[in-house]
Structure 1
Amino acid sequence: MSSRNGETTPGQTPRATSRRRSAEAVPAASGGGDIDVSLALLWGMGEQATRGRKPTITLDAIVTSAVEIADAEGLEAVSMRRLASELGVGTMSLYRHVPGKSELLDLMIDHVNTLPTEPSPRRGLDWRKHLEECAHGSYRNYVSHAWLLQVDQSRPLLGPQALAGLELFLSGLEGLALSGQQKMMVIMSIDALVTGLARQEVQSTRAEQRTGVSDEEFWTAQSPVLERAMSTGAYPVLARLPMDAFAATWEDTFELCLTALLDGLERRLALHVS
Structure 2
Amino acid sequence: MGDDDSEVGERDRTLALLWRGQGPPVPRRRGPTPARTLDEVIVAAIALADADGPTALSVRSVAAAVGMAPMSLYTHVPGMAELADLMVDQLYLAMPRPAWGRRRWRGRVRAVAEANRDLLRAHPWLVEVVALSRPPLGPGQLAKYEHELAAFDGTGLSDVDVDAALTFVLGFTQQQSLAERAVVATRRDSGATDAQWWAANGPLLASVIDPARYPRAVRIGEAAGAAQGAAYDPDAAFGFGLERVLDGLSALVEG
Q: Smaller-chain TM-score range? A: 0.7 to 0.9
Shift of 1:66: 0.2
Shift of 1:203: 1.4
Counterpart residue number, 1:116: 96
Counterpart residue number, 2:18: 42
**Aligned mates of 1:36, 1:229 — CA distance in 2:** 61
CA deviation string 1:108-143 (max 9, x = no partner): 1111125431142xx222211111111100001111
Q: Which moved more, 1:60-69 or 1:224-233?
A: 224-233
Q: Per the alignment, do residues 225 and 43 of structure 1 end up closer, same or farther by CA in structure 2, a change over 3 Å counting?
A: same
Q: Which moved more, 1:100-109 or 1:174-183?
A: 174-183
Counterpart residue number, 1:8: none
Q: Per the alignment, do residues 128 and 59 of structure 1 end up closer, same or farther by CA in structure 2, a change over 3 Å counting?
A: same
Matched, 1:171 2:147: no
Aligned AA for 1:146? Answer: P
Shift of 1:268: 3.1
Q: Which runs of 5+ in 2 are unaligned?
A: none
1:267 to 241, 248, 251: 251
Counterpart residue number, 1:233: 212
**Aligned mates of 2:206, 2:252 — CA distance in 1:** 43
Aligned AA for 1:124? Answer: R
CA deviation string 1:237-265 (max 9, x = no partner): 11222635135342232122111211232
2:59 to 71, 80, 98: 80
Aligned AA for 1:235? Answer: Y
Aligned length: 242
Matched, 1:33 2:9: yes
Matched, 1:91 2:75: no
Q: Per the alignment, do residues 46 and 227 of structure 1 end up closer, same or farther by CA in structure 2, a change over 3 Å counting?
A: farther
Counterpart residue number, 2:125: 147
CA deviation string 1:62-120 (max 9, x = no partner): 01110000011101111221222222222222111101111111111111125431142
Q: 1:149, 1:199 within 8 Å by CA — same for their partners in 2?
A: yes
Q: Secondary structure at the match of 2:246?
A: helix
Shift of 1:216: 2.6
Q: Per the alignment, do residues 149 and 181 of structure 1 end up closer, same or farther by CA in structure 2, a change over 3 Å counting?
A: same
Shift of 1:236: 1.3
Aligned AA for 1:265? Answer: L
Shift of 1:215: 2.4
Q: 1:119, 1:125 within 8 Å by CA — same for their partners in 2?
A: no
Q: Per the alignment, do residues 263 and 232 of structure 1 end up closer, same or farther by CA in structure 2, a change over 3 Å counting?
A: closer
TM-score, normalised on structure 2? 0.84
Q: Per the alignment, do residues 46 and 210 of structure 1 end up closer, same or farther by CA in structure 2, a change over 3 Å counting?
A: farther
Shift of 1:152: 5.9
TM-score, normalised on structure 1? 0.79
Q: Secondary structure at the match of 2:121?
A: helix
Q: Per the alignment, do residues 53 and 234 of structure 1 end up closer, same or farther by CA in structure 2, a change over 3 Å counting?
A: same
Counterpart residue number, 1:16: none
2:45 to 41, 52, 66: 66
**Aligned mates of 2:247, 2:165 — CA distance in 1:** 12
Shift of 1:188: 1.3
**Aligned mates of 2:99, 2:108 — CA distance in 1:** 5
CA RMSD in angstroms comes to 2.4
Q: Secondary structure at the match of 1:175?
A: coil
